[in-house]
Amino acid sequence: MLRAAMSLDPDALLALLRDPNAESQTIADACGAPREEVGRAARLVHAMGRAKPEEVASLPPSLLLAALRAALAAGRADVLAAVAAGPHREPAKEAKRGLHVLRTRGVAVPELPRTAPAPAAPPAEPDQPCYASSLDGQGERAVWYARNVPGKGVEVAQAILSDVKGLVSLQVGMLGRKEYRGFVQDLVSRGGALGVLEVGRETAHALIADARRRAESAGKPLPEGAALWLSRLGEAPPLPDPAARFPPLPPEEERAALAASGALHERPLLRGWLAAEEALRAAAARLDELAASPLLLDDAQRDERAARVLEEATTAWFDGPRRALYAGRLYTVAGLLADAGDAGGAASAAAAARALAGGADVLGIPFARLLFEKALPSAARAPAPAAPIIAPPR
């Protein structure tokens, strides 16, 4: 009996619902509906003349198809209309067919509500520009990350990043779109000395995420709310290796670019770069001792010894970790200068980075020497004439 019932069509199922001798469990097994629903369907079918449309429409789809045959036989256009507007595809299709049959018989059929077309999605707003500054002498820079927040405006995050400490601070606020345009104009106009340039959104995200990694590696606490804010941005793309952008130049060009690296200190971005204060204080103390020493015979001898003190301080300060640190900083500066159209400066910064990373004599790297000589100019040897900075290619 059960196997035969599994192939019941709506008319056969309706006959079972009307049969007082049919077991409700058998019908339930046949249509896959709960036994209680089968009992409810049988009651509605027997009383279809006065059944409420919403009660019929709430039946499971398999039972609803059979109940629709009873509604059509009873001329219940209201029941058919309620199901036709319902969410179940097959019963709605069957109900509409029943309404058409009643209409051909001259029965007044209610108009079905017309489904309004979904409103067109508003055009996507263009992404807001993001910005980053150059590095300062302590390896810190600022990044401004902006994104549209529908219905609210522009969310702006200002992050201070350090290549030693990682993510130092993070401030997040909301601006109107007009306010943000004014903020950007002011940032670019006042940020010339900081080397502020527009960067891609993925780059800004990657810089901040990399700074978070550095902070965690160094055991530094993250700014309040930074972890939650970064989690909302999702996975950050990896930062490309900045050295890969600047392969070595042909030998003569490499030597010329390196010799011109001292001129990088004349650029506003790098004028404030100096060796660490404690290293400069130690060198200055040695120079003061030298100046007061009665053992030196003449000024020439004093100048020679002073220059040697400065050279020794420079060589000692640039140990392996500091060479790697400044090589990374110079590669970053090279990228910023290249993006700003300063091809010659970029070539010199990259050449100095390669020399530091490659273990070259630090005294042969003008950029490195000037980190001390700028602060203690009276002790520096007279520099050899610098080669001209390589001109940008035409």
Amino acid (one-letter) located at 218? A
Q: Is the same domain home to 228 and 256?
A: no
Q: Is the same domain home to 216 and 279?
A: no
Which tens digits make up the pLDDT trace of 252-295? Answer: 999 999 999 999 999 988 999 999 999 999 999 998 888 787 77
Residue that terminates a domain, selected from 239, 266, 287: 239
Q: Is the same domain home to 247 and 320?
A: yes
Q: What is the mean pLDDT of the chain?
A: 87
Task: Give me the pLDDT at residue 205, please.
Answer: 96
The answer to the question of residue 115 being in a domain is no
Residue-range definition of the domain harbouring residue 207: 130-239
Under a CB-based contact definition with an 8 Å cutoff, are residues 303 and 375 in contact?
Answer: no
Q: Is the same domain home to 214 and 264?
A: no
The backbone region for 126, taken as left when phi is positive above 0, alpha when psi lies in -120 to 50, beta otherwise, is beta
The answer to the question of residue 248 being in a domain is yes
How many residues are recorded in the chain?
Answer: 394
Which tens digits make up the pLDDT trace of 103-128? Answer: 888 888 887 766 556 566 666 677 88
Task: Give me the pLDDT at residue 385, please.
Answer: 42
Q: Is the same domain home to 220 and 287?
A: no
Q: Is the same domain home to 258 and 233?
A: no
Which tens digits make up the pLDDT trace of 149-204? Answer: 988 899 999 999 999 999 999 999 999 999 999 999 998 887 766 788 899 999 99
Whether the per-residue pLDDT at 49 is higher than 50: the answer is: yes
Residue that terminates a domain, selected from 239, 274, 294: 239
The answer to the question of residue 385 being in a domain is no
Q: How many domains are there within the chain?
A: 3
The answer to the question of residue 388 being in a domain is no
The answer to the question of residue 392 being in a domain is no
Q: Is the same domain home to 252 and 375?
A: yes
Q: Is the same domain home to 99 and 42?
A: yes
Q: Is the same domain home to 229 and 251?
A: no
The answer to the question of residue 161 being in a domain is yes
Q: Is the same domain home to 194 and 250?
A: no
Q: Is the same domain home to 215 and 137?
A: yes
Q: What's the burial of 261, exposed, middle or buried (CB within 10 Å: 0-12/13-18/19+)?
A: buried
Under a CB-based contact definition with an 8 Å cutoff, are residues 366 and 259 in contact?
Answer: yes
Q: Is the same domain home to 260 and 228?
A: no
Work out the pLDDT band at 298, boundaries 50, 70, 90.
confident
The answer to the question of residue 384 being in a domain is no
Q: Is the pTM of this model over 0.75?
A: no
Residue that terminates a domain, selected from 207, 239, 271: 239
The answer to the question of residue 347 being in a domain is yes
